[in-house]
């Protein structure tokens, strides 16, 4: 089963309640993890950390121990590099945000592979037409680095409402359109489940 | 005089895909068709789109049936999955499945009616505040946003806040 590891409910940036998202996800045949910064009993709970510098990020990571998934809001070069250097971080989200380049260089790629931090590909940014071109070119660069350094690419919907959720087949089709090979697609779809199993959450 | 059809060995193998139109807003068939075509053209360009043999068989406010050749099914589902909005309204074209004939598409995927029950006026308490219920189906409730959520709802280009009956009972 595909697990969407970054979904926002009404308790953070979204407009749907956790139970509504759970119902919609069940209809689509997927499972959702809520990235609200709130510890839920019946959901996989995550937190998205936003920091201005390395020191602040480390402080936030230490205070987020209780969450199942720790996602770092990427974009700034310093934050991207600090996030992948810490093995307590699970996902580096949108490293290209607000940048002209992809935000992932050889150092980031090597550190991500060594510390087991996955780099996120967020579908919700692809829904905005003027951003697609930039994300596609960033992804091509990230894919080249992935082939060399072998870090993980995690696909999430980044959904803030129920209409942003995508099922397994839709995500596979999107990745196919982006030019990923069949094996990479399978690996990306199974990665969230593997991550959850390794962490012993379920 | 009509031209003769291609010999059967040269004909393309056809597939039909059913998509359901999901949105908070009222979406016309024309808008749904435009959303799919826009997304395909923007993503693949005119040259690659022409290789799909894409034709829209039927587009209504609830569903779309699309015809294509058998090697393009994945591409069209991918393009539809990346349809985010049309004319400032949030929309999602969810693929239901693929079939070899239009009749089978209707029988397999579109035989169930969309269960939307419009509610005239009723109030529920959610997060300690009273909200007006706009739509109700099964256990799902769509609420009209108050001032606190109005900006967020507008930014995401939806119209309602989605909750279930368990949220109301929990209060």
- Cα–Cα dist A23/B94, whole Å: 16
Q: What pLDDT score does A179 carry?
A: 84
Q: What pLDDT score does B34 carry?
A: 94
Q: What is the pLDDT of residues A76-93, one digit of tens each?
A: 999 999 999 999 999 999
The CATH code of domain B14-109 reads 3.30.70.3250
* Residues β-bridged to residue B56: B66
Tell whether B161 is within 8 A of chain A (Cβ). yes
3-state secondary structure A61-105: HHCCCCCCEEEEECCCHHHHHHHHCCCCCCEEECCCCCCCCCCCC
Q: What is the pLDDT of residues A101-140, one digit of tens each?
A: 888 999 999 999 999 999 999 999 898 878 888 888 888 8
Q: How many CB atoms lie within 10 A of CB B122?
A: 11
Q: What is the pLDDT of residues A2-23, one digit of tens each?
A: 999 999 999 998 999 999 999 9
Predicted confidence band of residue A42 (pLDDT cuts 50, 70, 90): confident
A161 CA: distance to closest CA in chain B (Å): 8
Q: Which residues in chain B are contacts of A123 at CB distance < 8 A?
A: 81-82
Quote the mean pLDDT of chain A: 90
Tell whether B43 is within 8 A of chain A (Cβ). yes
- Cα–Cα dist A90/A195, whole Å: 9
* Residues β-bridged to residue B133: B143
Task: Please give the residue of chain A at the shortest CA–CA distance from B84.
Answer: A127
B159 CA: distance to closest CA in chain A (Å): 10
Predicted confidence (pLDDT) at residue B171 exceeds the cutoff of 60: no
Q: Which residues in chain A are contacts of B114 at CB distance < 8 A?
A: none
The interface pTM score, or ipTM, of the predicted complex is: 0.89
User: Which of A26, A42, A135, A170 to substitute to test the interface with B, most B CBs within 10 Å?
Assistant: A170
Give the closest of A15, A162, A177 to B152, CB-based: A15
Task: Report all structural domains of chain A as residue ranges with CATH numbers, in order of start.
Answer: 49-199 (3.20.20.140)
What are the domain boundaries of chain B? 14-109, 117-170
């Amino acid at each position: 089963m595909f697990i969407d590891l970054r979904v926002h409910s009404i308790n953070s940036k979204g407009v749907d309640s956790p139970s509504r998202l759970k119902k919609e996800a069940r209809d689509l045949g997927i499972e959702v993890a809520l990235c609200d910064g709130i510890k839920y009993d019946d959901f996989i709970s995550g937190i998205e950390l936003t920091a201005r510098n390395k020191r602040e990020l480390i402080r936030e990571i230490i205070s987020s121990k209780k969450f199942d998934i720790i996602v770092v809001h990427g974009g700034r070069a310093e934050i991207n590099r600090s996030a992948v250097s810490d093995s307590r971080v699970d996902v580096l989200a949108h490293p290209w945000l607000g940048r002209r380049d992809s935000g992932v260089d050889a150092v980031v790629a090597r550190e991500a592979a060594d510390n087991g931090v996955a780099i996120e590909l967020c579908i919700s940014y692809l829904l905005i037409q003027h951003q697609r071109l930039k994300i596609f070119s960033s992804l091509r660069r990230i894919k080249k680095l992935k082939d060399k350094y072998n870090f993980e690419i995690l696909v999430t919907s980044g959904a803030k409402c129920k209409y942003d959720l995508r099922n397994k087949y839709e995500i596979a089709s999107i990745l196919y359109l982006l030019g990923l090979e069949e094996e990479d697609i399978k690996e990306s779809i199974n990665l969230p489940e593997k991550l959850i199993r390794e962490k012993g959450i379920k | 005089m009509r031209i003769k059809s291609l010999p059967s060995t040269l004909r393309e193998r056809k597939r039909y895909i059913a998509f359901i139109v999901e949105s908070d807003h009222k979406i016309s068939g024309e808008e749904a068709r435009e959303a799919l075509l826009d997304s395909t053209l923007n993503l693949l360009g005119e040259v690659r789109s022409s290789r799909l043999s894409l034709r829209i068989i039927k587009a209504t406010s609830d569903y779309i049936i699309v015809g294509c050749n058998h090697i393009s099914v994945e591409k069209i589902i991918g393009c539809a999955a990346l349809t985010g909005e049309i004319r400032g309204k949030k929309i999602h074209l969810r693929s239901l499945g693929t079939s070899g004939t239009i009749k089978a598409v209707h029988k397999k995927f579109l035989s169930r009616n969309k269960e939307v029950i419009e509610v005239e006026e009723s109030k529920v308490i959610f997060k300690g505040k009273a909200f007006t219920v706009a739509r109700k189906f099964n256990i799902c409730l769509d609420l009209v946003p108050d001032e606190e959520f109005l900006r967020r709802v507008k930014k995401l280009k939806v119209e309602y806040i989605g909750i279930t009956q368990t949220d109301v009972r929990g209060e």
